Copies of this chain bind each other. A is one copy, B any other.
Amino acid sequence: MAAAAGVSTATVSQAVNGTGRISEATRRRVLAAAAELGWSPSASATALRRARTRTIALVVRRPTDVLGVDPHFSELITGLEGELAPRGYGLLLHLVPGLAEESALYERLVAEGRIDGAVLTEARSDDPRPGLLRQLGLPAVLLGSPERGGPVPGVGLGQQGAGVREAVAHLLALGHRRIAYVAGPAELVHTGARRTAFEQALAEAGLRPAAVRHTDFTEEAAVAVTEELLALPDRPTALVFPNDSMAVCGMGAAQRAGLRVPMDVSVVGYDNLPLGRWLHPRLSSVDQQVQRVGAAAALTLLARCGEDVPTALLEGRPRLVVRESTGPAPAAP
């Protein structure tokens, strides 16, 4: 085949495995020659016992109808693709209803040789996935905190609670004393970390949360919780949300209840998605740099797949970006 393509055997190997620094044109010439000889890369890959699929799995454990409304995942995919796409890697997206299905899927994808690695999202306490993937021998990264001790490396900004603490400090400085927290599902690690940060920041000021409500991340829940909180006898003057789309829903619900944002109620989002910049009022939000975390996760994973990539640098911590949806607390009635 090397003769047919007019290249060295090393080049054939590189073309088939997607390694080395050969040009795309050379690679395609080799594969064309191979196809002509009735020879297929998958057979070779099996022979070489290590296929490069140039495919990374991203398994999202959500009902299919929630993905569409949570731009967080678009941002994450954008960050991952920013590093994967230029290197010819694709992202294999699977949606599964629960943890058992997610684990079964990794087993199948590994057994069938379909992926080179996996990005794990939404760490849970007592998460079985890192152990499983190490057992399967599949390179993986876990999005969340930057921990190196576990079965798979963690990729994320440090100080998970820092953004929420900063949001609380900002609201306290504006005179707010009745601050409510809308949280995600209780079983997620980041939900717990941020809730703890929220409660600690208030406790340090001698305060307690006006309310804490767990939700399933849906927009319906954001609207329902906002309406409930704003109808409390001691109405909160500020609401902190777990993502921007829920904050936008909360802002709309407050405005429809006849309240002005931020004059009557302040609203803080999380994720700092692009849309928040263009709303009126512009959304104050915690920037956890989802795209940059995605890019760092891709680089970490590519390095573990044997690719020659720059070291993933991920410094800093989640930070509050103050815009227009937060303002001085209203005078007590």
Contacts and interface: CB of A to CB of B under 8 A. Distances in A.
A123 B137 CA distance: 41
A97 to B, nearest CB: 8
What is the total number of copies of this protein in its complex? 2
Interface of A: 24, 28, 31-32, 35, 40-43, 45-46, 51, 53, 55, 57, 64-65, 67-71, 73-75, 77-79, 81-82, 85, 88, 90-96, 104-105, 107-109, 111-114, 219, 222-223, 245, 248-249, 251-253, 255-256, 273-275, 277-280, 282, 291
A283 to B, nearest CB: 10
B104 A28 contact: yes
B82 A64 contact: yes
Nearest to A35: B111
B40 A278 contact: no
A77 B71 contact: no
Contact of A92 (B69, B77, B92, B277): B92
Contact of A78 (B28, B35, B64): B64
A15 to B, nearest CB: 10
B28 A107 contact: yes
B275 A248 contact: yes
A143 to B, nearest CB: 16
Contact of A253 (B85, B113, B248, B278): B278
A274 B46 contact: no
A79 B67 CA distance: 10
B278 A252 contact: yes
A40 B85 contact: no
Contacts of A251: 280
Contact of A278 (B42, B65, B248): B248
Contact of A77 (B68, B78, B90, B114): B68
Which of A43, A82, A278 has the largest count of B CB atoms less than 10 A from its CB?
Answer: A278
A104 B28 CA distance: 9
Contact of A55 (B28, B78, B114, B278): B114
26 contacts: A28-B104, A28-B107, A28-B108, A40-B46, A43-B43, A53-B114, A55-B114, A64-B82, A67-B77, A68-B79, A68-B273, A68-B291, A69-B71, A81-B93, A85-B95, A85-B96, A90-B93, A90-B94, A91-B94, A92-B93, A219-B274, A249-B278, A252-B278, A252-B282, A253-B278, A255-B280
